[in-house]
Structure 1
Amino acid sequence: MSLMVVSIPLLPVIMMLSSRYRVKVTALCHRALAWVLRLVRGRVCVRSTHAFVFSQCTHGNADSILETFDLYGATQPSLCIGPKIGEALDEVVRRVCPSRVLELGMHCGYSSVRLLRLLPPAGRLVTVELDPLTAELGEEIILVSGFKHSQFQVVTCSSNESIPTLRPFIKPDQGTSEGFNLVLMDHNPQQYLTDLLALEKEELLCPSGCSVLLIHRDRRAESLGEIVDYIRAKPDCYCIKTELQFMTEVLFQKESTEVNMDQKV
């Protein structure tokens, strides 16, 4: 509704200019829409979500934080993945037992809290969020949940800007492996393939095994487009492990072939 109110006054101007400056106007419209979406997200949804959760939850209790998020999402628009996807995410985390997790798309901290509460004591989460307000409020929610800065790191920039800077966050500690064991992509699906290629280039995916979770909020796995085609074209190191209504799990594994080659020698 808010988008309609903002957009309607612009229509006469757009129609008048479109025939003469079609390409430029189209680009301008995309930029204007992106700005409006960011405005609605940052100043309405994120602020109201944070205020509700902060005031209604039991501080220091991660489960209470999640329940309060879900209570808000039952009656109000929310960017959180919600309990259905959240439970599927929990299953993957329990199975993978990751020590290093990367989250692209923070969304006020809901999935960050879900992830952190299941990590081992030495585990660490790096969460990347483009919008500064969302990152600030999300970090506060994580701290209110009872987690400490030593357990997580918030990176406030775009995913493509952040990936080349992430290596210092995954230096192996005792009992942990090098690279991220789990990557959650819940930002812009059009950016998924670009970011996966960047993670490969920077060697940030754990070679012995990394689960990459792709969230598709429109409920169609086909919306993932190019990244699924890319994964299926590289069966030597990728395979699609599970496909759910809202989430696809991709397994990256590179070490097994190299180990076999070493054994032959």
Structure 2
Amino acid sequence: MWLLVVSAPLLPAIFMVSRRYRVKVSALCHRALAWALRLLRGRVCVKSTHAFVFSRCTHGKADSVLQTYDLYADTHPSLCISPHMSGVLEEVVQRVRPPLVLELGMHCGYSSVRLLRLLPPAGRLFTVELDPLTAELGEEIILVSGFKHSQFQVLTSSSAEAIHTLPSLLTDLDEGSSEGFSLVLMDHDPQQYLPDLLSLEREELLRPSGCSVLLIHRKQRDLREILDHMRARPDCYCIKSERQGVTEIFCQKGSTGLDR
């Protein structure tokens, strides 16, 4: 009885704590389930897309591979970026002419092929994919498109792990490439956009003279966190362009008065 009397005043606090953690656990479980479903759906999509493109494209021809991708996307659900997004991507690559590109989120290899076909002769692409099956099939499509391993490298890991290993990989490249990336494409988990951007800065992987970062998003709220960070540092960031599904930001270390 005395235990009930002593603990009675604590009941509201106990109830609030249990409710608070129940909400957190529920949110965590919901996120884990969503991730698992997204991974499963992504694997099914990648396998279907790979089979279609591999069997119908002209091997060794990047344009044929992309046209076959577009044909597939016309009649099937696909993780490939849309034709509109592809146009924005190509416009940025042609303007920036990057010698070194980082892609976070390889998916089916569609954007990888679009990037590679526009890089300068000595250009190189590092593309990151978390799922081993997706990475394997995407790499095969890149090779089918006619590109060689000397032009690209697939990193099968989380984006955070890949960024940590990139400095040692860049030391083996020529002097121009070792300055860092002048173009980064982020098309993975939007919740990782800001942490990965900060990691790229810490590892000094962004070219000091300036780096364009393309953010692919399905919902504008996906960019809320990273855009808030940018607004707090106007001396280092500016928004270059905002088009449907694609936001281009420009990062330049210690710069001032960036043009919008």
TM-score (norm 2): 0.85
Q: Distance in 1 between matches of 2:252 and 2:148?
A: 31
The structure-2 alpha-carbon separation of the partners of 1:228 and 1:25, relative to structure 1 and needing over 3 Å to count, comes to closer
Larger C-alpha radius of gyration, 1 or 2? Answer: 2
Deviation at 1:23, TM superposition (A): 4.5
Q: Distance in 2 between matches of 1:129 and 1:175?
A: 25
Classify the secondary structure of the residue corresponding to 1:208. Answer: coil
CA contact (8 A) 2:213 2:249 kept: yes
Structure-2 residue corresponding to 1:30:
31
Structure 2 residue identity aligned to 1:233: A
Structure-2 residue corresponding to 1:54:
54
Q: Which consecutive unaligned segments of at least 5 residues does structure 1 have?
A: 1-17, 258-265
Q: How much is the aligned-residue C-alpha RMSD, in angstroms?
A: 1.9
Q: Distance in 1 between matches of 2:26 and 2:214?
A: 36
1:34-71 superposed Cα distances (whole Å, 9 cap, x missing partner): 222211211x2110000000011111111111111111
Classify the secondary structure of the residue corresponding to 1:107. Answer: coil
The structure-2 alpha-carbon separation of the partners of 1:96 and 1:177, relative to structure 1 and needing over 3 Å to count, comes to farther
Q: Distance in 1 between matches of 2:54 and 2:39?
A: 22
Structure-1 residue corresponding to 2:198:
197
Deviation at 1:174, TM superposition (A): 5.3
Deviation at 1:255, TM superposition (A): 6.4
Structure 2 residue identity aligned to 1:74: D
Structure-1 residue corresponding to 2:217:
216
Deviation at 1:209, TM superposition (A): 1.2
Q: Distance in 2 between matches of 1:225 and 1:209?
A: 23
Deviation at 1:173, TM superposition (A): 1.7
Structure 2 residue identity aligned to 1:238: Y
Using the TM superposition, name which of 188-197 and 229-238 deviates more: 229-238
What are the residue-to-residue correspondences of 1:117-156 with 2, within 5 Å? Answer: 117-156=117-156
1:218-258 superposed Cα distances (whole Å, 9 cap, x missing partner): 3x3x430110111122121211111111111111112667x
Structure-2 residue corresponding to 1:15:
none
Using the TM superposition, name which of 141-150 and 21-30 deviates more: 21-30
Structure-1 residue corresponding to 2:174:
173
Structure-2 residue corresponding to 1:11:
none
Q: Which consecutive unaligned segments of at least 5 residues does structure 2 have?
A: 1-18
The structure-2 alpha-carbon separation of the partners of 1:22 and 1:91, relative to structure 1 and needing over 3 Å to count, comes to closer
The structure-2 alpha-carbon separation of the partners of 1:179 and 1:21, relative to structure 1 and needing over 3 Å to count, comes to closer
Classify the secondary structure of the residue corresponding to 1:169. Answer: helix
Deviation at 1:161, TM superposition (A): 1.3
CA contact (8 A) 2:98 2:119 kept: yes
Deviation at 1:204, TM superposition (A): 0.3
Q: Distance in 1 between matches of 2:157 and 2:85?
A: 25
CA contact (8 A) 1:99 1:177 kept: no
Deviation at 1:25, TM superposition (A): 4.3
Q: Distance in 2 between matches of 1:194 and 1:63?
A: 35
The structure-2 alpha-carbon separation of the partners of 1:176 and 1:164, relative to structure 1 and needing over 3 Å to count, comes to closer
The structure-2 alpha-carbon separation of the partners of 1:75 and 1:240, relative to structure 1 and needing over 3 Å to count, comes to same
The structure-2 alpha-carbon separation of the partners of 1:123 and 1:255, relative to structure 1 and needing over 3 Å to count, comes to farther
Structure 2 residue identity aligned to 1:122: A
Structure-2 residue corresponding to 1:234:
233
1:137-190 superposed Cα distances (whole Å, 9 cap, x missing partner): 000000000000010000001111111100133345255461001000000111
Structure-1 residue corresponding to 2:108:
108
Structure 1 residue identity aligned to 2:246: M
Q: Distance in 1 between matches of 2:176 and 2:27?
A: 52
Aligned residues: 236
Deviation at 1:28, TM superposition (A): 2.8
The structure-2 alpha-carbon separation of the partners of 1:189 and 1:25, relative to structure 1 and needing over 3 Å to count, comes to closer
TM-score (norm 1): 0.84
CA contact (8 A) 1:100 1:170 kept: no
CA contact (8 A) 1:126 1:169 kept: no
